[in-house]
Each structure stands twice: as C-alpha cells, then as structure tokens.
Amino acid sequence: MGKILFLSGAGLSAQSGISTFRDSGGLWEEHDVMEVCSVAGYAKNPSKVHSFYDKRRAELKDKEPNSAHKMIASLKNRFPNRVSVITQNVDNLLEKAGCKEPIHLHGELTHLRCLKCEQIFYHGYETQDKAVCKKCGSQNIRHHIVMFGEPAPMYKVLYEELEKTELLVCIGTSGEVIDVASMAMLTKDSILNNIEKIPKIDRYFKNLFTMPATEAAPLIKEYCLDFLKENL
C-alpha cells in the first residue's frame, strides 16, 4: 500500500503572510540570526530572544491557512493511515486548516518549554513574560523552537517516516536545512513545489511544480489521489 509523506517549508506559509528568513526585507535582514536563533545568542541575551519570539507569536494570531494548507489537511484527514505530514515551519496554519497532528520538526510558536521539568505546553499567542509551567509551576520558561546549536529530536521521526514512504511531496523548501534531494532518491516517486527553480535539487525529483503553493495545490492533490488509487 503506497504511502505519501508531505514535507513542507517556509514556502507553504509565505502566501499566508508569514515572514521568512530568506525573504528580501525578511527576518534575516532585520536581525542577526545568531543572536536570536542560536544557543549562544540565547545564553548571552535570553530577553532579546524572548522578545523576538513574542513578536512572531503575536503576528501569527490573525494569520489564516491558504489553499495549500487546506489541501494537505484534506488528504491527511481522508487518508490518515496513508498520508503523513511533517513540517519545518513553526506556525500553526496546518492545524488551523484542520490537519490532524502534523509533526513539527523545529518546534511550535504557540508552545513553551519548561527548563525545570522539560514540560512542553500550549501557550497561545501571548507574550511569555508571565508564563508559568502548567506541570511544576516554574517560571523558568523558554520558547519551544529548536535553535542553531541544539539537537532536533523530531528528525528521527522524519527518517522513520521516510522509510515507509513511496511518494515524497516537498512544498516550499530550498533544501538548505534538510537534504530533500537525497530523500527524493530514496522514494519511488516524488514531487517538488517551489515558487522558482532550484537546479541543484530540482533534478532529483520526478515531478516539478514551479509556481506558488496555492497554484500547485490542486495539481498536487490530483496527483496524490491518483497515486493512492493506483497503489492500493
């Protein structure tokens, strides 16, 4: 029975107004990434890091999923045992689209982590300055985002899912963080959707949709439905 793995990156949420590090005028240009997104930066100035993520959390509140999020959610919910959804994104737009339990590789903006007992809990869109651990009551709290210089434990899940995957669908990822090219080589079939061509990874995918994710969504959905039907 053929299984599909959706792996999404920043390009999935860009059309919903989520700022990305790589946009012109985006977060990379407004901040020194190593000051706000690294273990060393956090140790040096945790309040600056907290403020950075407080701002991003507040910006997320009114953002809505686009048709690509909804397409992924519809396939996941219709075929829960044959479709897996893993995202590099820390927003919750897949959840807002109704997707059941997508796996977040790099953490979630709407969640916080207790540094005393390691409890991860939902916090929503508010600042974290008055946050208290829901398990132990500690105020020693940090953002639940994987920073440069620390392990990303959910990557193990990604590669476990890849072993069961026959169709890999990558949406909005440049391959800079995750080597999606090598992943495509390990699967029977593959789709890559980016807004522009990326020759160094494009050539490893069997199907390319070089257009915004919202335009590609109906084409990807049709391809996936045909694949699921043909690989019972």
Q: Are 131 and 141 in contact (CB under 8 A)?
A: yes
Candidates 106, 123, 143, 144; catalytic one: 106
> To which residue do tokens 């208290």 refer?
132
The kind and range of the H/E element at 167 are: strand 167-171
Cα gap 97→170, rounded to integer Å: 18
What is the secondary structure of 107-158 as a DSSP string?
EEEEEEEETTT--EEE-TTS-STT---TTT----EEEEEPPBTS--TTHHHH
For residue 217, CA distances in Å to 37, 54, 187, 213, 220 come to 31, 31, 21, 6, 5
106 part of the active site: yes
Pairing status of strand 141-145 against strand 107-114: antiparallel
Residues catalogued as catalytic: 106
